[in-house]
Amino acid sequence: MQILIADDDPVLRHVLRVHLERWGYEVVESPDGASAWHALRTTPPPPFAIMDWNMPGVDGPTLCQEVRQTPGLSGMYVILLTSNSSKKDMITGLESGADDYIVKPFDWDELRARVRIGSRIVSLQQVLGTRVEQLQQALSSVRKLSGLLPICAYCKRIRDDSDYWRQIEHFVSEHSEVRFSHGICPECIEAYVNKELPSART
């Protein structure tokens, strides 16, 4: 999984990269908010980001808001990494769109645990997105009849788009997933079969 690191501290970015790569993640680095935003607009964008609060150009909370308001990025998992430790700052950061909030200096084991949680959530979202796409494709492939069908009042044939009158079962079969099995209802047995085959009477 690819993770974006957005922080203007080159030392912290380097150490974060070393740890994340050791934990099995691919890392993209950005030294400020503007370059981070550019990295997020690549195709495909990183599904996970660790952002500093105070960065040149665009700060972390503003970047979080942009992410949540942008189609294709709104599902990204974001950890806001900051030295702002007040409860008010934490609330502001989370309300801006961050999924998690970690205060500097932090414990590396705690960061690893939180990154694992985030990566599990991202993986579940990706699986869910795939399932939804498959469901939409399945629904779009379902053929159904709708609208006004011209039908003969006597023989019950359907007139198709080529002005050709066709048996109703043939028409319906071609325009839906319906398949017909033929039988005779009790009324028709009485009205037709028994008249034509007197020996069939019981």
Distance between CA atoms of residues 179 and 172, nearest Å: 8
- Is the entire prediction scored with pTM above 0.75? no
Categorize the per-residue pLDDT at 114 as very low, low, confident or very high, splitting at 50, 70 and 90. Answer: very high
* Cα-only R_g, the chain: 32
Distance between CA atoms of residues 59 and 47, nearest Å: 19
In the chain, what are the domains? 2-140 (3.40.50.2300), 158-200 (no CATH)
Task: Give per-residue pLDDT as tens, 39-57.
Answer: 998 888 999 999 999 998 8
Query: Is a pLDDT exceeding 70 seen at residue 145?
Result: no
